[in-house]
Amino acid sequence: MMCINVDSLPINEKIKDILKKRGIQKLNPPQTEAVQKGLLDDKPLLIVSPTASGKTLMAELGMVSHLINKGGKAVYATPLRALTNEKYVTFKDWEQLGLKVAMTSGDYDTDDYWLKDYDIIVATYEKLDSLWRHNSPWIKEVDYFVLDEFHYMNDPERGPVVESVAVRAKRKGTILALSATIGNYKQIAEWLKADVVATNWRPVPLKEGVLYAGNKKKDFVVMYKDGTSRKVYGECPIVAFTLDVISKDGQVLVFRSSRKYAEATAVKISQFMNFVKLNDKKLHEVAESIKEVEDGGSNEKEALYNLILKGVAYHHAGLSKGLRDIIENAFRDRIIKVIVATPTLAAGVNLPARAVVIGDIHRFNRKVIGFTEYIPVMEYKQMSGRAGRPGFDEYGESVVVVRTKSEVDKVMQRYLNSDVEPLESKLGSESAFYSFILSIISSEEDVTERTLTEYIQDTLLPKELAKKYFKQALNWLLDNEFIAQEGEYLTLTKFGRRISDLYLNTFTAVTIKDVLTRNGKGCELAYFHMLAYTPDGPLVSITKAEEDVLLDELDCELFIEEPYDEYELSNYLSSLKVAFIMRDWIEEVDEDTILGRYGIGSGDLRAIVDTMDWLTYSGFHVASVLGLEEHKEVLEKLHMRVKDGVKEELIPLVKVPGIGRVRARLLYSHGIKTPEEIIMNPEKVKQLLGPKLGEKIVREAARAIT
């Protein structure tokens, strides 16, 4: 295919100037095909092309052309907050055209009215769904929707929201759906009423292979998809292949199925990095910056410090955002040579490498205790697609590690020579379907059963299943007082409106409602346990040793009785562990102590705190709308304590920006207990916190009380 020169594009000259400043003189083949199929003319498109093939630029051209030619607003939806921030930074270029760019994620109980003044809005799928529910006036102006990482529709947890957003978006404006991997793209394009751009073109060719032990000790063979092979030498296959790539000035991403494996593999690789040429000065700077991260645990920082000095790091959700950011940036800057990660990295930030090693093709199924399963082909494609850095590599390599030569053909057939799984509707569960119905009633006017039927017919759900769920959903929502029927119209009750605005799972709402109306005031642990036990609660793993300890340490009566079912008991104990973590947190137990006591990472703790912050807020509002004053009072205080992890007396101080649990306790212990006392004692505050920080805190305290 001929590639279009930027100069010949029928677009504004200022757009061309911005592209040229980025070094783009012509569009690549997928981008060219998208333009030929109407990208610049508001045509709905489904673009399926590999990682690094320029899908983001296609989205930018589509959005900007639409806004300049037709006005309105454009939303770019992503499945992950990290991607939201990444795209926001990229899109800021377009402010040179007078377009205003904003991003929003989290905080579901708001209509973000401030976004009325912005043209391009980057949001997570959940946030976009939440904004529709709030009926903010500006949301009606959005008539161009970019749906990124659209294959997330196959994710059991995120898929229902992605599908729900797609159903609305195709009714309200132009859709541009983007993905690296969709097997049944023709069916999906037809469903979206969009034309297709589907290509295997990559800016850097990919060599896919399988890595296995050879006939001699310390010999390992890479058998490639095209029939060629080569050998690498070393102590184990992952180390041997990794060192081979690094010795040729490459970088490697190694994917392992668990955090434990990722950390152990990083340590093992680091033991052989003495033979590799590294930039010791820059590695030392990166390692030192790890020590300064405020939101990381001491043990994590020490482990990463020692690894980074050797050019290696591990990466998983257990690490704090601050630690992950440093690791990702140092890898992008080619200072760190190897990252050993869990598969979540493949679905997140843009982090290409010369080579990718997939160390495991099995993983544990958390829902079936003791059961392992093959990873999906889509997951393999997401990981292998990270191989090959545009501008650095002539080709990328991805290898799957197997134990014996006899497994090579099986893996080749299952992953290297196979199409990805088809996208299918994930609305086929009661929880997902009921939430979908509630969201439509909350966001549309004059909703009747016919209105809902039309929306349901627009989903990917099999028609018979949709029909079966429809009546069941209406009856359940009516019985549980989420909705009311007035003649032919369906409306939200006061309770239903609050639940929709809070963006709570309907089953979470019913659990909270039932427990609070059935019980009198309880202990802090009981409230935390109830909230963690809901479908929206955070999950943590439980070891056999912890099971008895958790029950033995239980010192007050819980709202929810211990179940007999093994799976429910597992959830019950997970929720109890979360409750203990949260109680320690609000009692100001040292963060390192919490991490060590419960065997979690700093990233886990932050995720638990964020979720429980939202759930205590939601619980408070459920109690409020139900008129349960006793519970309302307890939950309100718990919510105020959860975010910063403080005892009740520190609540006034942590309301001042810049004051967290440690600084608040320091000020309080020296007799400064309120924002007013901060203002009255500026010199003492500077003495305790340091001159610069102290002065800033005094200014913030003054703002906080005005």
Known binding residues for ATP are: 31
Q: Identify whether the C-beta of residue 211 lies closer than 8 Å to the C-beta of residue 244.
A: no
Mapped onto helix, strand or coil, the DSSP state of residue 276 is coil
Q: Identify whether the C-beta of residue 309 lies closer than 8 Å to the C-beta of residue 287.
A: yes
The one-letter code for the residue type at 506 is T
- DSSP 8-state secondary structure symbol assigned to residue 413: I
**Nearest CA-CA partner of 602 in 226, 278, 366, 316:** 316
The Cα 357–Cα 253 span in angstroms is 6
Q: Identify whether the C-beta of residue 111 lies closer than 8 Å to the C-beta of residue 136.
A: yes
Query: What HEC string does 58-124 produce?
Result: HHHHHHHHHHHHHCCEEEEEECCHHHHHHHHHHHHHHHHHCCCEEEECCCCCCCCHHHHHCCEEEEE
The Cα 529–Cα 525 span in angstroms is 6
Binding-site entries: 31
State the CB neighbour count (10 A cutoff) for residue 110: 15
| Half-sphere CA count of 555, side-chain side, radius 13 A | 4
Q: What angle do CA 681, 682, 684 make, to 5 degrees?
A: 70
Residue by residue, DSSP assigns 577-616 as: HHHHHHHHHHTT--HHHHHHHHT--HHHHHHHHHHHHHHH
Query: What HEC string does 340-405 produce?
Result: EECCHHHHCCCCCECEEEECCCEEEECCCCCEEEECCHHHHHHHHCCECCCCCCCCEEEEEECCCH
Q: What angle do CA 589, 590, 594 make, to 5 degrees?
A: 80
Q: Which residues contact 38 (CB under 8 A, 6 or more apart)?
A: 45, 195
The one-letter code for the residue type at 495 is F
Q: How far is CA 446 from the centre of its chain?
A: 34
| 125-132 own/partner pairs: CB under 8 Å, 24+ apart | 125/77, 125/78, 125/79, 125/152, 125/158, 125/161, 125/162, 125/165, 126/161, 126/503, 128/75, 128/77, 128/165, 129/161, 129/164, 129/165, 129/439, 129/503, 130/503, 131/104, 132/168, 132/439, 132/443
Q: Which residues contact 74 (CB under 8 A, 6 or more apart)?
A: 63, 66, 67, 119, 120, 121, 142, 144, 145, 146
Which residues sit opposite 400 in a β-bridge?
Answer: 210, 358
Tell me which H or E stretch contains 192.
Answer: helix 185-192
Q: Identify whether the C-beta of residue 478 lies closer than 8 Å to the C-beta of residue 434.
A: no
Q: Identify whether the C-beta of residue 23 lies closer than 8 Å to the C-beta of residue 160.
A: no
The Cα 160–Cα 239 span in angstroms is 40
Token look-up 């705190």 returns 609
The Cα 373–Cα 364 span in angstroms is 6
Tell me which H or E stretch contains 212.
Answer: strand 206-213
Tokens matching residue 561: 């009785």
In which region does residue 588 sit, left (phi positive, over 0), alpha (psi from -120 to 50) or beta (all else)?
left
Which residues sit opposite 314 in a β-bridge?
Answer: 340
The Cα 700–Cα 683 span in angstroms is 15
